[in-house]
Amino acid sequence: MIRSADPGVIRPYLKDASNLTGGYAQEVVFPEDEKDVVQVLEEACCTKTPVTVAGNGTGLVGARIPFGGTVLSTEKLGGLKYIHQTAGDTSYAVTGPAVTLRALQAAVSAKGLLYPPDPTEENAFLGASVATNASGSRTFKYGVTRRWVRRLKVVLATGDILDLRRGECLADKKERLFLKGSRNVFELKLPQYRMPEGKHSAGYYVAPGMSALDLFIGSEGTLGVITEVELALIPIPQELFSGIVFFEREADALQFVGRARKESLKNRASRATGQIDARALEYFDSHALDILRPAYAQIPQKAQAALFFEQELPSDFEKKAVDQWFHVCQGCHALLDQSWFSQGMKEHDAYRVFRHAIPVLVNKILRQYNQQKIGTDFTVPNERFFDLFELYRQNLSDSGLRYCIFGHIADNHLHINLLPENDREAERGWQIYRKIALQIIRWGGTISAEHGVGKIKREYLLDMFGPLGLREMAAMKKKLDPCVILGRGNIIPDEYLYD
């Protein structure tokens, strides 16, 4: 196992895509197998050295950035091990944590299979994707990462190895979990807070009768190191139809979302074929289009909003469903002649690149001004969707700050990205962020649907679950990590971890 205290080797591990600054570490280690991970954690426990687990550094909340101690890089812990293919819907892959989502998708698609979660950033490691319970555009149809994880192997700070399968090791009626490690048995009392409905990746997952593995999904490197994952796969859909639809008025775009979402849910429930059934619906507001325009001159000048949609189609029903989409576009006054519709995989891939370009360009702008990302990751219950939009506009339109809005609108999950150009603007940006966060919490939404809490959003988790929720999380963590070495600074502030 390689270890290094060379500042040049450590430096790349002091950042992620959040632009959070100030990170430092004494050492970076590169375990090559589970035994190495056990050794690193045992040593760290003895010396009470903090250990920050690092994936591929695309995180947006500073979670992999260390503030002291050792960085445990997962990059040499291995990637895809094998794919088990069956005729029906029971195919699965077994993988180490260090495969990128891009490499995983390529390997499974070569076998005619699909791993449905689709986080936009394909350079992320699968292990980290599980550790953040990542989601993406296809979540509207296929749910979040959690739904596709069948089994996990995790090394705890004590050196215990857990092998957890979905449906086994369930919480009992008193909301306790008994985890059998390779050395110890751990009795955990689940926190009493209730999780918001819908996508949610803020704090530890709790639910009545939950499988123990769900505790580790979304735990952001604070409960253990994920060393192996078994993932459910599905047969790759035959054909895709996709498009980027432009609108002159934002209200028309929102009407389109309402109709496409309603139709999709209805047709999915009734298993109607050849009807609208979006697997993705992604929004771009006028400011997002302005950011994209220099790279995409073909964006219509008049466009004030756009939507990217994707639908899987059995080939015999293609014409029928395409007609339905055009019908909705017309009914919602889309700029139909100037919108883009796929003819095959080439266009389809190009539209996905277009979707990915917006967060990448936003991060580039922030780097230019040396500013940390102020990006929302809120969702609200369905009935609050239009209120959410109104709230964003009220707070942003006369803020004097540059911003854009884009993202997973089908899940009521839009990312506002504030683009401060200096520290004064950043301060104002965080004030606006807080105001919106508090309203989202009052509406029963979440402060993080997919990026996690990390180091940047801890105070909002406190607003959401209160001091009691944080104390309960801390108590559970300390059972699994008695020396409090793992993921220090993530999710739970230090004052809740020390009596």
Piece of 83-91, 219-227, 321-329, 390-398 that binds ligand FAD (CB under 6 A) = 219-227
Asked whether position 230 contacts ligand FAD by CB under 6 A, the answer is: no
Asked whether position 420 contacts ligand FAD by CB under 6 A, the answer is: no
Asked whether position 226 contacts ligand FAD by CB under 6 A, the answer is: yes
Site residues (CB under 6 A) for ligand FAD, limited to 473-492: 487, 490
Q: How far is the CB of 201 from ligand FAD (least distance, A)?
A: 7
- Considering the complex, state which of residue 263 and residue 375 has its C-beta at the smaller distance from ligand FAD: 375
The one among 70, 95, 105, 129 contacting ligand FAD by CB under 6 A = 129
Q: How far is the CB of 58 from ligand FAD (least distance, A)?
A: 3
The one among 45, 53, 217, 332 contacting ligand FAD by CB under 6 A = 53
- Considering the complex, state which of residue 23 and residue 321 has its C-beta at the smaller distance from ligand FAD: 23
The one among 16, 36, 160, 263 contacting ligand FAD by CB under 6 A = 16
Mark 55-94 with x for binding to ligand FAD (rule: CB under 6 A) and - for no binding. xxxxxx--xx---------x--------------------
Q: How far is the CB of 163 from ligand FAD (least distance, A)?
A: 15
Q: How far is the CB of 320 from ligand FAD (least distance, A)?
A: 31
Q: Nearest CA to 490 among 261, 100, 223?
A: 223
Site residues (CB under 6 A) for ligand FAD, limited to 339-378: 359-360, 363
Asked whether position 44 contacts ligand FAD by CB under 6 A, the answer is: no
Piece of 33-41, 131-139, 280-288, 298-306 that binds ligand FAD (CB under 6 A) = 131-139
- Considering the complex, state which of residue 55 and residue 191 has its C-beta at the smaller distance from ligand FAD: 55
Q: How far is the CB of 142 from ligand FAD (least distance, A)?
A: 13
Q: How far is the CB of 318 from ligand FAD (least distance, A)?
A: 28
